[in-house]
Amino acid sequence: MTRRLSVTVPDDLWDAVAHLDNSQSGLVQKGLRSLRESIEIQAGRSPIEIGSRTDPMYERVLSELTEQSTDLRTEGYEAVVFAIDRTAITLDWLESVVRDYSFAELPGMLARAADVFLSCRNDDPEGSGMWIERPVTLDEVESVIARAGHPWDEDDRLLLRGLGNIVAVQPDTDLGYQLNGARVFQLGPGALPVARVSQSTWEGMAAAIYDIVAAVRRRVLTENHTTGADKEPTT
């Protein structure tokens, strides 16, 4: 679909840009595209998002990375659901996390908890390296995190324990391998253990925690409302 326009433009404005295109129509289209991009930038769109509209390379890169991020986010989401199904975490834990951490900060806190969990695996009290030589079981999580320092021994201990429980029951997934695989150990800056898990995975996990708590609340309210409506009024 096209639109025919008839506009009046001052000579000084036209002369300054006339060399950019051989045709008047092409020049007007360039100006409108530039205006649209300027509006999108002000609205928060990044150059790659804007460029993906017209540049095949930008679109190819953005689509590929979006697909990767979606897969990783799904893995984090499903890790929480799987852990609940295995009774590794409870509704009380989920509600406590939602109460104590904002949605924006939770992915970062989960990532930090993962690094602490790895450090604890490498620091068993007997010095045997037992917990890094094989996966930690659900029953061992409390013993593994017992040596975690502040604030993980107090304020954030519940989050650390829950993450450890989630990790301990994971099947053959990248999340389970990176955090609980036998002899999987990587050092980050400062020669400290670091979890090689993507931010997208933590964001998926945080989304699952918040989604599940909200979904349970909605269902409880709906079912209670229905049940209440069916009851005979008391006199």
Average pLDDT over residues 215-234: 75
Average pLDDT over residues 4-31: 70
Give the pLDDT band of residue 17 (cuts 50, 70, 90).
Answer: low
Non-local CB neighbours of 184 within 8 Å, separated by 6+ positions: 177, 178
Q: Which of 74, 37, 73 is nearest to 52 (CA)?
A: 37
Q: Is the pLDDT of residue 207 over 90?
A: yes
Distance CA 179, CA 196 (A): 8
Average pLDDT over residues 88-98: 97
What integer pLDDT is reported at residue 130 of this predicted model?
74
Give the pLDDT band of residue 80 (cuts 50, 70, 90).
Answer: very high
Q: What is the mean pLDDT of the chain?
A: 83
The better pLDDT of the pair 29, 207 is held by 207
Give the pLDDT band of residue 224 (cuts 50, 70, 90).
Answer: confident
What integer pLDDT is reported at residue 176 of this predicted model?
87
Give the pLDDT band of residue 76 (cuts 50, 70, 90).
Answer: very high
Q: Is the pLDDT of residue 235 over 80?
A: no
| 99-103: long-range contacts, CB 8 A cutoff, minimum separation 24 | 100/158, 100/159, 101/159, 103/206, 103/210
Give the pLDDT band of residue 182 (cuts 50, 70, 90).
Answer: confident
What integer pLDDT is reported at residue 49 of this predicted model?
79
Average pLDDT over residues 104-128: 86
* 3-state helix/strand/coil string of the chain: CCCCCCCCCCHHHHHHHHHHCCCHHHHHHHHHHHHHHHHHHHCCCCHHHHHCCCCHHHHHHHHHHHHHHHHHHHHHHHHHHHHHHCCCCCHHHHHHHHHHCCCCCHHHHHHHHHHHHHHHHCCCCCCCCHHHHCCCCHHHHHHHHHHCCCCCCCCCHHHHHHHHHHHHCCCCCHHHHHHHCCCCCCECCCCCECCCCCHHHHHHHHHHHHHHHHHHHHHHHHHHHHHHHHCCCCC
The better pLDDT of the pair 64, 193 is held by 64
pTM of the model: 0.74
Q: Is the pLDDT of residue 234 over 70?
A: no
**The most confident of 19-33, 139-153, 221-235, by mean pLDDT:** 139-153
In this structure, what is the dihedral angle of CA atoms 73, 172, 121, 195, given to the nearest 10 degrees?
-30
For 34-56, how does the pLDDT look when each residue is reduced to its tens digit (9 = 90+)?
A: 666 666 555 667 777 777 778 88
Plot region of 147 (φ>0 → left; ψ -120 to 50 → alpha; else → beta): alpha
The better pLDDT of the pair 174, 91 is held by 91
